[in-house]
A and B are shown apart, each in its own frame.
Chain A
Amino acid sequence: MKKKVVKNKKQNRQKFDNATVAYRLKCAKTGNGLSHFVMYGDAPKDQSPV
């Protein structure tokens, strides 16, 4: 059983090592993605307390 886990980890590692990753995310609300500055002033209305 242990050997199988090791093998899976190895396979996952190989999968990661061989994969190509490329993407770009943009803001769904504003389209061009421009978002206002913040640490302050964006307290989510529906998430307090976390």
Chain B
Amino acid sequence: MKQGLDIFNITDTRRRAITDADNLFWAILPKGSDESSKLSRDVLRVYDKFKDSLDKNMHDFRFSKKLSAVYINPTDKCNASCPYCYVPPAIRKNGRSMNKEELEFILNKIYKHTKSASKKMVIVFHASEPLLVKDVVFSAINKFKNKFLFGLQTNALLLTKKDVDFLIKHRVGVGISLDSQNSKINNRLRSGNFNQVNKALKWFNGYAGLNVITTVTKYNVRGLEKLVRFLHKKKVSCILLNPVRLTQKYSRKLKPDQELLAREFLKAVDTAIDLTINSKRPIIIANFANIILGIVSPFARRLMCDISPCGGGRCFFTITARGEMIPCGEFIGIRDSSGGNIFRDSITKAIESKPFKSVRGRFVEKIEECDICTFRNICGSPCPAELHAMDRFNKKAVFCEFYKKIIQHAFKLIAQGKEKHALRKDILGNLKYEYQL
């Protein structure tokens, strides 16, 4: 494995970066500076001073088992049929739904397990479509509003103005699925939710707890920049542009070309930065913001997919509508991934189960190519569920080349002093310098 400081040229700049891939120390230098220059000596002095604490903090961050969120699928059923869904069609069609008593039992059990934690646990109602059991979900939010922070991921097909008022009133973080500003393309991918999402965005009227999630496939990859402009006009301040997960066989046909994906994704990132600088309304691409954070403040990262090992079965897990505890929702269609059933077993048992340990046991030092990659702890080589389904569990990320390009771009923005425009203001407000050269 490659250890210590590494040096690389930053694409499209006259700059080079020195990094330690293990603790994510980095410095950006003029291209001409060599190891004996004063600049390099200054950098090495800072590196020597902070290396031990950075190593320790990074190890704690990566390998701690501090639960911070639980995803709950209150129903297996869905009213949409997205062609890349990681929930298998049979489960979406014939699955069961929780009743109020079951959901309350689960929330009480999670609360008892986590009440000594310093922060409120985040509960996210997620796939398939949680609004199919709206009464059950909203009743739980109302009852447990002082015990948890809540999130909800929805395709918006069943969302009403009254629901939106309720969600805003209870400060619920809401993710809405939309794949394109072009209604035809979107409706082909997202089961015709375009008009309903438009209505919902109007109702939310710039609510700060709203984000839009886009699954990027070969069908919508060329429209990401337009989508950013469209959502900015609709007062959306946070978007996730997630490359399609290839967990299910049918989703693999939709994989976008990585070169094209990186180009279009970065066009969208730059557009978001321009809009943020030149208008009064910020808009950020959250999965790119997380890459920037991975460099400038690795322990403040908010998405757990690009940390190694990932957050699945470690910082969060998923409870299916049948009560099965699985490391992450992506594992729902994968056999032998349950760590126990919440109605019978303890959460501790699930956390210590073989399937959970297996996900925690997949990390970049064990993966060929990642073990020598400078960016290994910025991208984290996701995703274990996707790679397990492809019989490549201990191989590098499916979108490795994409990650390399967007991390290069993140370093370029840092070299240009533009990185703060890619981050949410409330995140920046919570950060202070540990060191600065």
Give A contacts to B, CB under 8 Å.
16-29, 32-45, 47-50
| Chain B residues near A33 (CB-CB < 8 A) | 57, 61, 297-300
Most buried by A among B123, B208, B301: B208
Question: Is A39 within 8 A of B303, CB to CB?
Answer: yes
Most buried by B among A19, A32, A35, A48: A35
Number of A-B contacts (CB under 8 A): 178
CB neighbors of A among B191-234 (8 A) = 204-209, 211
Question: Is A43 within 8 A of B299, CB to CB?
Answer: no
| Chain A residues near B122 (CB-CB < 8 A) | 36-38, 40-42
Closest CB in chain A relative to B293 CB, distance in Å: 8
SS class, residues of chain A in contact with chain B: loop
Residue B432 at the A interface, CB < 8 A? yes
Residue B39 at the A interface, CB < 8 A? yes
Of chain B, the residue at the smallest CB distance from A17 is B14
CB neighbors of A among B273-313 (8 A) = 281-282, 286, 296-304, 311
Of chain B, the residue at the smallest CB distance from A43 is B209
Closest CB in chain B relative to A33 CB, distance in Å: 3
Most buried by B among A32, A40, A47: A40
What is the bound-complex CA distance between A32 and B316, given in angstroms? Answer: 20
Closest CB in chain A relative to B19 CB, distance in Å: 10
Question: Is B43 within 8 A of A22, CB to CB?
Answer: yes
Of chain A, the residue at the smallest CB distance from B307 is A37
A-B contacts besides A22-B27, A25-B431, 6 pairs, CB < 8 Å:
A25-B300, A25-B434, A33-B57, A35-B299, A37-B304, A39-B302
Give B contacts to A, CB under 8 Å.
13-15, 25-31, 33, 39, 42-43, 46, 50, 54, 57, 60-61, 64, 66, 68-69, 119, 122-124, 148-153, 168, 171-175, 204-209, 211, 235, 237-238, 240, 281-282, 286, 296-304, 311, 315-316, 414-417, 426, 430-437
Question: Is B30 within 8 A of A18, CB to CB?
Answer: yes
What is the bound-complex CA distance between A40 and B435, given in angstroms? Answer: 30
| Chain B residues near A49 (CB-CB < 8 A) | 204-208, 235
Question: Is A47 within 8 A of B433, CB to CB?
Answer: no
| Chain A residues near B432 (CB-CB < 8 A) | 25-28
Return the 5 tightest CB-CB contacts between A and B, nearest first.
A40-B151, A43-B209, A33-B299, A40-B173, A22-B27
Q: Using A41-B150, A49-B206 as known contacts, say yes or no to A35 and B300 having CB atoms under 8 A apart.
A: yes
Of chain A, the residue at the smallest CB distance from B40 is A20
Question: Is A23 within 8 A of B437, CB to CB?
Answer: yes
What is the bound-complex CA distance between A32 and B297, given in angstroms? Answer: 11
Contact partner of A24 (CB less than 8 A), chosen from B61, B66, B301, B435, is: B435
Closest CB in chain A relative to B68 CB, distance in Å: 4
| Chain B residues near A28 (CB-CB < 8 A) | 430-432
Question: Is A16 within 8 A of B416, CB to CB?
Answer: yes
Q: Using A39-B240, A43-B209 as known contacts, say yes or no to A21 and B150 having CB atoms under 8 A apart.
A: no
| Chain A residues near B171 (CB-CB < 8 A) | 43, 45
| Chain A residues near B415 (CB-CB < 8 A) | 16, 21
Question: Is B414 within 8 A of A26, CB to CB?
Answer: no
| Chain B residues near A17 (CB-CB < 8 A) | 13-15, 30-31
| Chain B residues near A48 (CB-CB < 8 A) | 168, 206-209
Question: Is A21 within 8 A of B173, CB to CB?
Answer: no
| Chain B residues near A26 (CB-CB < 8 A) | 297, 299-300, 431-434
Closest CB in chain B relative to A2 CB, distance in Å: 22
| Chain A residues near B300 (CB-CB < 8 A) | 25-27, 33, 35
| Chain B residues near A39 (CB-CB < 8 A) | 151, 173, 175, 211, 238, 240, 286, 302-303
What is the bound-complex CA distance between A38 and B206, given in angstroms? Answer: 18
Closest CB in chain B relative to A15 CB, distance in Å: 10
Closest CB in chain B relative to A34 CB, distance in Å: 6
Of chain B, the residue at the smallest CB distance from A21 is B28
What is the bound-complex CA distance between A49 and B173, given in angstroms? Answer: 13
Closest CB in chain A relative to B215 CB, distance in Å: 14
What is the bound-complex CA distance between A34 and B111, given in angstroms? Answer: 21
What is the bound-complex CA distance between A36 and B68, given in angstroms? Answer: 6
| Chain A residues near B297 (CB-CB < 8 A) | 24-27, 33
Closest CB in chain A relative to B383 CB, distance in Å: 15
